[in-house]
């Protein structure tokens, strides 16, 4: 019986790996074990940062909304509470865009939140 090797498959696998780590610094681009470690770490960080990005954007939206709310005499928390009382279902992303690009519309939303807070009190 002939001896079977995995030479072609191994070569293809290594070639695919080295193509993906091309441009890395030092031994990480041309030594198999270092390249595998670098690639594993890269994939882990990509996964983590895809999740982290969502929280980063939420924090950014909240900061923008807070600035807009302060201009209209409210704090961020009071604005959000007032919008909940007014049954206004605009998400933070849209509120942030309104605060930047449509100050008049954001002012109207802030006024409805103020009225809902006054009605409650």
Domain residue spans of the chain: 7-120
Mean pLDDT of 13-24: 95
* pLDDT at residue 120 in the model: 82
Q: pLDDT value at position 1?
A: 80
Q: What is the CATH number of domain 7-120?
A: 1.10.1900.20
Q: How many helices (H) and strands (E) does the chain have?
A: 5, 0
**Tell me, what's the pLDDT at 105?**
95
CA 68 – CA 80 distance, rounded (Å): 12
Contact 20, 31 (CB under 8 A): no
Find the mean pLDDT for residues 29-40.
Answer: 95
Tokens 């470690």 — which residue? 37
77 CA to centre of own chain = 22
């Amino acid at each position: 019986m002939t001896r079977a090797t995995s030479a072609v498959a191994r070569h293809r696998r290594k070639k695919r790996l080295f193509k993906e780590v091309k441009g890395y610094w030092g031994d990480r681009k041309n030594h198999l074990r270092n390249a595998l470690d670098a690639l594993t770490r890269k994939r882990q960080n990509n996964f983590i940062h895809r999740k982290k990005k969502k929280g980063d954007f939420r924090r950014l939206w909240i900061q923008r909304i807070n600035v807009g709310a302060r201009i209209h005499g409210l704090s961020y928390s009071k604005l959000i509470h007032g919008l909940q009382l007014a049954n206004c279902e605009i998400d933070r992303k849209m509120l942030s865009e309104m605060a930047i690009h449509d100050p008049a519309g954001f002012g109207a939303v802030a006024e409805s939140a103020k009225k809902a807070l006054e009605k409650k009190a």
